[in-house]
Amino acid sequence: MLEHFIFKLRGSNNLPMDEKALTQFPIALPLKEVKALTNGIINTTDLITAADGQKYIFQKINTNIFKNTEGMMKNIDIVTTHIREKAAKSGRDPERATLHFLPASNNTLLYKNENGAYRVSKYIANTVSFEGKATEKSLEMAGRSFGTFIKDLSDLDASLLSETLPNFHNTPMRIAHFLETVKSNPANRLDSAREDVDYLISLIDEGSKLSKIKLPLRVTHNDTKTSNVLVDKTTLEPLAVIDLDTVMPGLLCHDFADSIRYSANYVAEDEKEYYRAGLDIDMYKAYAKGFIPAVSSIITKEEIDTLVQGVITIVYEQAIRFLDDYLAGDVYYHTQYSEHNLVRTRTQIGLLRDMLKRRNEMEAIARDPSLYK
């Protein structure tokens, strides 16, 4: 199993990305070592060793995507403080249960200068993250970790957090935007995607169902990929959920759904042989087996009833987001070739078609009484 835990390093040049910014944080300088980490694709990250041997993660935040960095760090502060308290009460090591950011000289967890916005967190020793294609075991553990995350935060008032990416999972707004793009056809690509557009338009009612149901607003992670789970290097026991940049008020089913969308498809999100896409029911079951027992003491009846609808909605929403971007001329997602967003759309459509056929099977798994003991 170890091959699934790869910790990639970009190499070492012994220079942090911004030395002046580093002096704003309470760490012992000069640095002994700097290693640039490359597994994240949004922020820029260094693993640094301070003069006293302590290791830290030094990060420059991508402010093109995260415009409200103050709100984001405030959310992270509230959430990590809460998880540390919960961990201490339940006998888990608080320093390994979540990230710990250091205050900068301005007493916030963020330092900004003309080059960007920076933050420093303690490096959690002897840990690795799940990388590469998930296995049933890693997906189950990821499910348990994300479920525990929601449970730990279930008594935190979600309205204390800012909606740092407004309307992120507002499917009706995503649909309205998509229909406008179809109408204006700005990149003249409509002809090459006619069937995909028609199929997704035919499913607008299906995609809108969830938005009509009243559900509890919780604190959710919103990027529940297996690579965002930190496990102990020796025991492989999951410890902490990382990459807290998208933590916001949201729905429980979204965190259930996005992992499944990402990891329970037979193919990767941008597989060119998109016709091979489909639901790997064993992987779906593995995630449910980890996630549901972790939330069983807090999940409401309405939430149980919408787990599967949540998965279908998130896959639908992702399909229209990719197709919208394809039709708009690739303005949001990075692409490597002109059909990239169309290929991504089709891997989502393949998964969606399969899920719509296998809804009863998915429901039976999500309602399995043994998961709610």
324 touches 177 (CB < 8 A): yes
Cα atoms in the 13 Å half-sphere on the side-chain side of 27: 30
Least distance to ligand NDG, CB of residue 38, Å: 17
Region of residue 185 (phi > 0: left; psi between -120 and 50: alpha; otherwise: beta): left
Least distance to ligand NDG, CB of residue 216, Å: 22
Report the C-alpha gap between 122 and 54 in whole angstroms: 8
Nearer to ligand NDG, 51 or 65 (CB): 65
Report the C-alpha gap between 62 and 68 in whole angstroms: 11
Least distance to ligand NDG, CB of residue 229, Å: 16
Least distance to ligand NDG, CB of residue 248, Å: 11
Nearest Cα to Cα of residue 320 among 228, 208, 159, 152 = 208
> Which tokens sit at 217?
């607003």
Nearer to ligand NDG, 145 or 222 (CB): 222
Nearer to ligand NDG, 306 or 345 (CB): 345
Distance of CA 287 to the CA centre of its chain: 15
If you search the block for the tokens 């939330």, which residue do you land on?
295
Least distance to ligand NDG, CB of residue 65, Å: 6
102 touches 120 (CB < 8 A): yes
Q: Amino acid identity, residue 164?
A: T
Interface positions with ligand NDG (CB under 6 A): 65, 165, 269, 318
> Which tokens sit at 12?
């070492």
Nearer to ligand NDG, 65 or 331 (CB): 65
Nearer to ligand NDG, 18 or 245 (CB): 245
Nearer to ligand NDG, 337 or 372 (CB): 337
Nearer to ligand NDG, 149 or 262 (CB): 262
> Which tokens sit at 338?
């002109």
Alpha helices in 218-372 (DSSP H): 252-263, 281-295, 301-305, 307-328, 340-357, 359-366
The DSSP bridge pattern shows strands 238-241 and 229-232 to be antiparallel
Report the C-alpha gap between 120 and 100 in whole angstroms: 9
Least distance to ligand NDG, CB of residue 353, Å: 19
Least distance to ligand NDG, CB of residue 297, Å: 28
If you search the block for the tokens 């961990």, which residue do you land on?
87
Least distance to ligand NDG, CB of residue 300, Å: 25
265 touches 139 (CB < 8 A): no
Nearer to ligand NDG, 212 or 334 (CB): 334
